[in-house]
Amino acid sequence: MTVADESVGAGGGTGEGSAADTAVTATAPSGVRRERPARITPRRVQGRDLELRSFPEVGSQDPDEQREALAALRAWAEQSAEDAIAWYLRDKKRKRTGSRLLQGLAIAFAVAGTAVPLGTAAAGGSGQGWGYVLLALAAGCKGFDHFFGLSSSWMRDIGVAHALRAELNKVRLEWATDVLRAGRASARPGEWLQPSEVERQLALIARLVDAVRTHIDSETADWQAEFRSRTRQLNEQGPLPGPGAPDRLPGTSAGVAGL
């Protein structure tokens, strides 16, 4: 998979995500109007790449703005995780469809490649040639699935989506636990949050962001290693010999045969 470069700052988002970069005008108790970051709204992941959300504007000039900044950071982290989950679930559907189609065709061709020669032989005919063709098609379906990694990518998508969803739910539960333990102290408007509470919330946000990045990097590394391995296997097999051509030219080694 490919992860698009992250755009930082206002106007960095694209599509429906541009609403995350807008700001709303709020009025302070003193009557002074100032700009505050708007709540990040969910967006669909467009295209084949996973686009990262723009980092929200953060300010802490008064207690209310401090709480809004923490809420914006939490929304940014959670919705980035939800974007990644949605991307992997959507990619899983494509890979699952392709994998099942190829596996089904491979089974059908293999069964037909065995049954056709037997049936024609029982009827007094000769269908051995068609049997070879059908078996070759079955092998081609298996080879296509193996080289392009549809089945393995399907399994990886499921694993990453489940891991991200579990981490997201865990962070949400821990956040709710902290809020419930703090009780009324955390809900008093106009009062600064305790430094320990701020650090705890920031630590949860950072943990979720790190978990999303770690899972994406790990899955991407697995995909790259798998693709390189299959490409190397394909190159090591060399070109298919033509009809009647020798497997190796006289006086050449296996590594340069056919050159």
Q: What is the mean pLDDT of residues 57-69?
A: 80
| Residue 31 vs residues 28, 34, 67: alpha-carbon distances, Å | 5, 10, 19
CA distance 255 to 226: 23
Cβ atoms of residues 89 and 159 within 8 Å: no
CA distance 135 to 152: 23
3-state secondary structure of 127: coil
pLDDT greater at residue 110 or residue 38: 110
State the pLDDT confidence band at 217, using cuts at 50, 70 and 90.
Answer: very high
Q: What is the predicted pLDDT for the residue at 77?
A: 94
Q: What is the predicted pLDDT for the residue at 127?
A: 67
Q: What is the predicted pLDDT for the residue at 117?
A: 82
Q: What is the predicted pLDDT for the residue at 8?
A: 33
CA distance 244 to 238: 17
Q: What is the mean pLDDT of residues 149-163?
A: 92
pLDDT digits 0-9 by tens, 4-46: 433 333 333 333 343 334 333 344 444 433 444 444 343 444 4
| Residue 51 vs residues 44, 45, 54, 102, 255: alpha-carbon distances, Å | 10, 7, 9, 30, 43
Q: What is the predicted pLDDT for the residue at 147?
A: 84
3-state secondary structure of 131: helix
Q: In the predicted model, is pLDDT for residue 188 greater than 90?
A: no
